[in-house]
Amino acid sequence: MRKDCYVCRSEGFNAHARVSISTQRKTIIATVNVVSNDSLSHQEVGLSESAWHRLEAQDGDKAYFHHAKPAESMSYVRGKLHGTRFSDNASHHIIRDITQGLYSDIQLAAFVTSCAGDRLNTDEVIGLTKAMVDAGSHLNWESDMVMDKHCVGGLPGNRTTPIVVAIVTAAGLTMPKTSSRGITSPAGTADTMETLAPVNLTISQVRSVVEKEGGCIAWGGSVSLSPADDILIRVERALDLDSEGQLVASIISKKVAAGSTHALIDIPIGLTAKVRTLDYAETLADKLISTGAVLGLKVETIFSDGQQPVGRGIGPSLEARDILLTLQNKPDAPQDLRQRSLIIAGKIFEMGGITVKNQGISLAEKILLSGQAWSKFQAICEGQGGMRIPPTATYKHEVIADRAGVVCYINNRLISKLAKLAGAPASPAAGLDMHIRLSDRVELGMPLFDLYAQSSGELQYTLDFLNEHPGAIQIEEDVL
C-alpha cells in the first residue's frame, strides 16, 4: 500500500501491520508493506503471490482493508509463559487462530518458544494433537486396517517409503501414503516419487488408485491434513528449536487425519541426524506411542543408525534410481536402503497380523525377491497417471579423496546442503551420488561422491562451498 494512502492513514496501518483483506469471494489476513514511490496509485494495492492466490483475487477486484482482529488466543500463550498449562480449549483456540492465519511470524515464534524443549506435558501434547487434527481435513478408508509409516528424518537419501508401500500393498494390506516435499532437505518422498509418477493427485484420484491397488505414494500438500503444522514447522526450522511435544503432535496429527490405524515410526539416531541421543529417542518413542494410543492410532517405533546417508543417491532422480534398483532386485542395489525397507515392511506385517513376531522381514524379502513388489509399484505408478523415467543431469563433477585412510565421519547436514546447492529438489536430476560409506578404506584420489547439477553456475557454486566447508566427509589416516 502507498504510505500516504487514505486507507493506510485512516486505518493507522504502519509497515508490518496485520490486516484483513476482503473481496466478495474471500477474506484473508496479510502483512502490510508500504511503498512511498508511484509504483501504486492511491486507490491501488499490490498483493504477494500467496496472498493473491489465497484471496482468489482477480485484476480490478475491489477489496476492503481493516486491522486484523487480534489473535485473542495469544493470551493463552502469555498465560503459558507465566506458568499456566494449555487446556484442551486453549490448544483448540491457538491452533484455530494459527490455521486462520491470525498469528504473525512473531506470534508464531512466541508460541513455538513457549513449547520449546519439554515444556509440554502429556495432556498438553494430546490436546495440541487433537486440536491439529480438528483444524484440518480428514481421509477415511473402507478397510478397518490402514497402515502408515514415518521417519523422524535427517538422513539424506533415506527413501524407503516407495519400496515399503510396494511390498506392504503387494501383501494385500492398505497403505495410502501421503508424503511431503523437501523444504530444507534436498528431496522429500513426494519429490523423488514425482520423477517416477505424478504425485499431485486429487482426493478422488487417491481414492481410485488405493481402491484398485491398495496403496499410493501421493503428495500430502493437495490434501491439507494438518495446516497448522505446516505453518509451525517453518518457524520451528527457522529457530532450529526442537520441541518434543510439537514434534509428537505434528507426526501423530497427520497420521490420524490421514485415516491411518497403524503407524510404524523410524527414529534414526546420529550426531548429525534430527535425533542425536538414544535417551531422546526413547522419550520421543514413549510420547509418540502414548499420544497415538489416546487418538486411536496404534504406534510402534524402531531405532535405526543415523550416522550416514542411506542408499547412494541424494536428490530426487538419484534416489529414484536406487529405488528402482532395489525393487528390480538388481545386484548393485544399495544394500542399506534395501535392508531398512525390509525391516520396516516386516514390522508393518507384524503390526497388521500378517505374520507372527520376527517373521515379517523374511516375508517382506520373499515378496521383494518374487518381483511382486516391483509389479505392484508399476501398477501404483500407472494408477497415479503413468510411470515416468527420472531425468538425468547435464553437469557432473567427481569429488575425490585428498588422502588415503578410513572414512570415519560423514556430516548428514553438510551432505544435504551440498545437494541443495547443486539444485535439488528444484532440479530433480541434481544432487550427490555417494561412492563411500563409514569405515570404507579409501586411497588418495579415489572418488568419494559425484556432484550432479543442471547448470554450470550451480555446480561451480557447490564446489566453492565445498572448498570452504571440506568437513562433510572425514578420512582418518594411518589406521592400523
Min dist. Cβ of residue 462 to a copy of itself (A): 8
CB of 13 to a copy of itself, least distance (A): 11
What Cα–Cα distance (Å) separates residue 220 from each residue in 139, 307, 421? 11, 28, 25
We find the least distance from the C-beta atom of residue 104 to a copy of itself, in angstroms, to be: 7
Q: Considering only the stretches 112-120, 328-336, 347-355, 375-383, report the one whose residues sit in contact with a copy of itself under the rule CB under 8 A.
A: 112-120
For a copy of itself, the closer of residues 103 and 377 by Cβ is 103
Question: Which of positions 6-25 make contact with a copy of itself (CB under 8 A)?
Answer: 6, 9-12, 16
Closest to a copy of itself by CB, 70 or 386? 70
Q: Which residue of 40, 63, 109, 406 would you call a contact of a copy of itself, by CB under 8 A? A: 109
- Pick from 97, 261, 420, 429: which binds a copy of itself (CB under 8 A)? 420
Task: Say whether residue 458 binds a copy of itself (CB under 8 A).
Answer: yes
Cβ neighbourhood burial of 205 (10 Å; 0-12, 13-18, 19+) = middle
Instruction: Check: CB of residue 125 under 8 Å from CB of residue 248.
Output: yes
Report in angstroms how near the CB of residue 110 gets to a copy of itself at its nearest: 5
Closest CA to 47 of 96, 38, 35: 35
**C-alpha distances in angstroms, 322 versus 223, 314, 355, 356?**
28, 10, 28, 30
Q: Which is nearer to a copy of itself, 63 or 302 (CB)?
A: 63
Grid cell digits, residue 409: 565421519
461 binds a copy of itself (CB under 8 A): yes
Q: What is the DSSP code (8-state) at residue 181? A: P
Q: Whose CA is closest to 195, among 209, 181, 185, 184?
A: 181
Active site residue 105: no
Cell 519400496 sits at which residue? 163
Q: Which grid cell sits at 232?
A: 509451525
Q: Select from 112, 165, 193, 206 the one that contacts a copy of itself (CB under 8 A).
A: 112
Among 51, 116, 294, 406, which residue sits at the site for a copy of itself (rule: CB under 8 A)? 116
CB of 387 to a copy of itself, least distance (A): 29
Cell numbers 498483493: residue: 47
45, 55, 108, 361: residue in contact with a copy of itself (rule CB under 8 A): 108
Which residue in this structure is represented by grid cell 490420524? Answer: 256
| For a copy of itself, the closer CB: 16 or 403 | 16
Give the DSSP letter of residue 2: B
Does the footprint of a copy of itself cover residue 421 (CB under 8 A)?
yes
Structural element, H or E, at residue 351:
helix 335-351
C-alpha of 194 from chain center = 15
Catalytic residue among 88, 242, 322, 332: 242
Q: 3-state DSSP call for residue 167?
A: helix
CB 404 within 8 A of CB 477: yes
Q: Which one, 236 or 450, has the nearer CB to a copy of itself? A: 236
The nearest distance, CB 251 to a copy of itself, in angstroms, is 21
- Decide if residue 106 touches a copy of itself (CB under 8 A): yes
**Alpha-carbon gap, residue 429 to 186, rounded angstroms:** 11
82 in contact with a copy of itself (CB under 8 A): yes
Q: In this chain, which of 142, 144, 240, 477 binds a copy of itself, going by CB under 8 A?
A: 240
Q: Does 238 bind a copy of itself (CB under 8 A)?
A: yes
3 state DSSP class of 171: coil
DSSP letter assigned to residue 275: B
Binding of a copy of itself at residue 415 (CB under 8 A)? no
CB of 277 to a copy of itself, least distance (A): 14
Cell digits for 403? 588422502
How many other CB atoms are found less than 10 A from the CB of residue 281? 21
Rule CB under 8 A: choose which of 73, 91, 99, 107 binds a copy of itself.
107
With contacts defined by CB under 8 A, name the span among 111-119, 208-216, 250-258, 264-272 that binds a copy of itself. Answer: 111-119
Site string for a copy of itself, 62-81 (x = CB under 8 A): ------------x---x--x
Q: Is 105 in the site for a copy of itself (CB under 8 A)?
A: yes
Enter the C-alpha cell of residue 383: 494408477
**Shortest gap between Cβ of 299 and a copy of itself (angstroms)?**
26
Does position 49 bind a copy of itself by CB under 8 A? yes
Q: Name the residue among 220, 228, 231 with its Cα closest to residue 128.
A: 228
| Number of alpha helices (DSSP H) and beta strands (DSSP E) in the chain | 18, 15
Q: What's the rounded Cα separation, in Å, for the pair 472 and 449?
A: 11
CB atoms within 10 A of CB 106: 10
Residues binding a copy of itself (CB under 8 A)? 6, 9-12, 16, 33, 36, 48-49, 74, 78, 81-82, 104-110, 112-114, 116-117, 119, 235, 238-241, 420-421, 423, 426, 455, 457-458, 460-461
Please identify every residue annotated as catalytic: 242
